[in-house]
Chains A and B, each alone.
Chain A
Amino acid sequence: DVVMTQSPLSLPVTLGQPASFSCRSSQSLVHSDGNTYLSWFQQRPGQSPRRLIYKVSNRDSGVPDRFSGSGSGTDFTLKISRVEAEDVGLYYCMQGTYWPLWTFGQGTKVEI
């Protein structure tokens, strides 16, 4: 199985300041079709996961543009340009390249 490793596991942030966290995969996430199926999810307290980013850098509809994803191969990053109070929660990366064997990172907890 592809192992997804996130860091840090906990990230204290300051409102209005940028935040960044990392996700690394144990194998390349480049699919044979040329796409890289790396997604980022936000899980606010008491809610189900919500996809923010797909295929490394594409924002889902309704996702604020302060969220951005980047990376390639095995190393990926999610950035929040200016943290807002509603951004508190857990953030997970997920690989879909080896569908159906999705695997998830352990999550990064963002707290003010």
Chain B
Amino acid sequence: EVQLLESGGGLIQPGGSLRLSCAASGFSFSTYAMSWVRQTPGKGLEWVSSISGRDNITYYADSVKGRFTISRDISKNTLYLQMSSLRVEDTALYYCAKGRTSDSWGQGTLVTVSS
């Protein structure tokens, strides 16, 4: 059974940094593309970043480019999202999702950016 478990969210001041993790199990983690998607009441679901399978090419939404970095550790079966220069508008529930067609999602981790 595929399982994705996010962690690392919390309350952070504007300009701060945070690293999200997504522990994956139940599938061949290294061969699948993985993504981060965030959800807010106002903007709904928004794609944030993806990393391709095998060759680990990374992609970012314009809204986070230059501030967020996606990566994976195959030895730990874990996906990461390093977030820096955080803004109030980054406040959201962050999900990791598996595959190019997002067939599985985690339960999410809440990031709140506020002073």
Q: Which of B47, B59, B102, B106 contacts A39 (CB 8 A)?
A: B102
The answer to whether A100 touches B102 (Cβ under 8 A) is no
Number of interface residues of A (CB under 8 A): 22
Q: Interface residues of A: mostly helix, strand, loop or mixed?
A: loop
**Given A96-B100, A100-B59: A49 in contact with B44 (beta carbons within 8 A):** no
> Range of interface residues on chain B?
20 to 34
Starting from the known contacts A37-B100, A54-B103, 15 additional A-B residue pairs (CB-CB under 8 Å) come to: A48-B106, A49-B45, A50-B105, A51-B101, A51-B103, A54-B101, A55-B101, A94-B102, A96-B102, A100-B47, A100-B100, A101-B47, A101-B61, A102-B37, A104-B47
- Mind listing 24 A-B residue pairs with CB under 8 Å? A37-B100, A37-B101, A39-B101, A39-B102, A47-B107, A48-B106, A49-B95, A51-B101, A51-B103, A51-B104, A54-B101, A60-B103, A92-B45, A94-B102, A96-B102, A99-B50, A100-B35, A100-B50, A100-B100, A102-B102, A103-B47, A104-B46, A104-B47, A106-B44
